Amino acid sequence: MTERGLLIVLSGPSGVGKGTVREAVFKDPETKFEYSISMTTRKPREGEVDGVDYYFRSREEFEKAISDGKMLEYAEYVGNYYGTPLDYVEERLNSGVDIFLEIEIQGAMQVKKRMPEGVFIFLTPPDLAELKSRLIGRGTETLDVVEARMKTAKEEIEMMASYDYAVVNDVVLDAVRKIKGIVETEHLKTERVIHRYQNMLEEI
């Protein structure tokens, strides 16, 4: 029987750099896990490709996918839907492949309810001042918007306790190394390994 793959969920407050860390994880040719491409109703940014960066869909299509039970999780974030198609994740996990999700916090909490056996990794900012400068640095937001995002970020950081691991995103490649270390360690958990020895034990 194929051992089911691990579901790895990377999440964290907005502006913490989840996307950058995810890109670095998959740039590494040694990465063995697969990325689950999300569905979204936001418009593609320059250079983004449908079916590679996201599945770009209309609100109607997204809402139909929800009502058909085809989403593992979804959330509305800054006026757009984002979500993880369920079939792909199930199919790959059943084939023994580790699947990596990079999603915001509400979605991660839904996954935790449905698949508590997943590995939940929280990416944290080195400090709140750094987070603030990233939120400001993103573009043209007014101070009010930045303050509102900081408030959300604070609330989100308090969610850390619901995760299995916390990884600080100070140096991207360090964060990548830590994430890979977590996945490697998870594979060594006795509950994942023990069944391989069961047959041998029976023979003895």
Q: Which residues bind ligand 5GP (CB under 6 A)?
A: 14, 18-19, 38, 42, 73, 75, 77, 82-84, 102-104, 107
Q: Which residue lies nearer to ligand 5GP by CB, 77 or 88?
A: 77
3-state secondary structure 98-113: CEEEECCHHHHHHHHH
Q: Minimal distance in Å, beta carbon 169 to ligand 5GP? A: 13
Q: Which residue lies nearer to ligand 5GP by CB, 80 or 185?
A: 80
**Cα–Cα distance measured from residue 38 to residue 18, given in angstroms and rounded to the nearest whole number:** 14
Instruction: Return binding residues.
Output: 12-19
Q: Which residue lies nearer to ligand 5GP by CB, 53 or 186?
A: 53
Q: Minimal distance in Å, beta carbon 39 to ligand 5GP? A: 7
Instruction: Return binding residues for ATP.
Output: 12-19
Q: Minimal distance in Å, beta carbon 56 to ligand 5GP? A: 11
Which residue's beta carbon is nearest to the bound ligand 5GP?
107
Q: Which residue lies nearer to ligand 5GP by CB, 28 or 48?
A: 48
Q: Minimal distance in Å, beta carbon 74 to ligand 5GP? A: 6
Q: Which residue lies nearer to ligand 5GP by CB, 20 or 187?
A: 20
Q: Minimal distance in Å, beta carbon 111 to ligand 5GP? A: 9
